[in-house]
Amino acid sequence: MGTASNSAKAVLRGLAAARPWQEDLYRDIHSHPELSHHEERTAKLASDRLRESGYDVHEGIGGTGVVGILRNGDGPTVLMRADMDALPVRETTGLPYASTVRGTDASGQDVPVMHACGHDVHVTCLLGAAALLGEARQSWQGTAVALFQPAEEVGDGARGMVDDGLADVLPRIDVALAQHVLPAPAGRVGTHRGPVLSAADSMRITVYGRGAHGSMPQAAVDPVVLAAMIVIRLQTIVAREVAPTETAVLTVGSVHAGSKSNVIDDHAVLELNLRTYDQSVRRSVLDAIRRIVVAECQGSDSPREPEFHLYDNFPLTVNDDAVTDRVHAAFVDHFGERVATMPAQSASEDFSDIPTALGVPYTYWGIGGIDEQQYRSAAEAGRVSQDIPVNHSPTFAPVIQPTLDTGTEALVVAALAWLGR
């Protein structure tokens, strides 16, 4: 590890010089967020910076995806990924660089747009790491790949790049790396072996009844009652069909039927979300959902079979043990006591679709983004959940430093665990 550590120190000597432009770039990206599949401006910023750093750049992969490749002699090839898209959230941080942008979502609605998940941090840190590697080529060897991915928030950006020929523009990849800013103290880094992010599936279920006047229920098959019974029965899946040693979260987030108090409608629509950490558990829960819905429809004498639409599918993220151990050791060597084991997260990501398609091992770690004193005060008061904004919150705004420095260092250190001379 000593050789890699020396390489990291040499490459990171340029961090102080990069810090001003990184901070300016971060504020710029934060002020100009773009929704999934609309990341044109962000993609151009990434492409321009990569070219300035000497990378061969490929644009428009999977829509707005960008890949920069820097070949620097014989050696391994390391892929580093950042996601670029923002969310339909109205920012309330009060920051001088807060977003006031509005955009059009996939359904054609005009919505506010905010980098409420920290993808602006990810882009800025990867561009910083790419620039530092480009400036210090004498300190490492191999190939660095910087990948900027669209549409993570809707779960199809990684697959979109893969389906659009990503493998055709890449050299053979040896390892893939990614990170995410989290509501933890800034300056901290956390790794996790094995399953780290849950698989996620959203499902829209339409069940059918027979409409009638509210005063004549005997003439109806009431879809509201049917939907209510389904919601209640679905709660038994996790409680009675998933082993206590396994984890699953099943949430019915939306139920809609009817438009007037005295009219029994002819259908109801339920939307639910499932989170799992094991593919067999995922399959069994999805099967159970269908079984229960079909059975309840039969029990209510529904005139039509229910319809199921699965969407917003996120894969399970399972960190490779050997890769994670190697990155963790490099982090401990560089960051010391600022490194910890990150708990498994119930959030979901589509990053793993890329290394899975390429057949390479990967690891995904977290960096903190909350002011350390703010976090400590909240922890001491037992109010972390109440006082610390989380990802997707309209008040989520990572402190610029040491967040950007930490994320940039983490990418450099992790990559040089393979590329270091």
Torsion angle in degrees (nearest 10) through CA of 49, 54, 58, 62: -40
Task: Residue 115: name the closest of 199, 181, 187, 177 by CA.
Answer: 181
Provide the token pair at 146.
């910087």
Backbone φ and ψ of 64, nearest 5°: -120, 10
Task: Residue 117: name the closest of 369, 352, 331, 334 by CA.
Answer: 369
3-state secondary structure of 246: coil
Is 119 known as a binding-site position? yes
Residue 56 parent element (H or E): strand 56-61
Which residue intervals of 53-136 are DSSP H helices? Answer: 119-135
Cross-strand bridge partners of residue 200: 275, 314
Cα 417 versus chain centre, distance: 24
368, exposed or middle or buried, with CB in 10 Å at 0-12, 13-18, 19+? Answer: buried
| Lookup result for tokens 């990434």 | 46
Task: Residue 113: name the closest of 45, 38, 181 by CA.
Answer: 38
Is 117 known as a binding-site position? yes
3-state secondary structure of 113: coil
Q: Where is the binding site for Mn(2+), in residues?
A: 117, 119, 153, 180
Q: Where is the binding site, in residues?
A: 117, 119, 153, 180
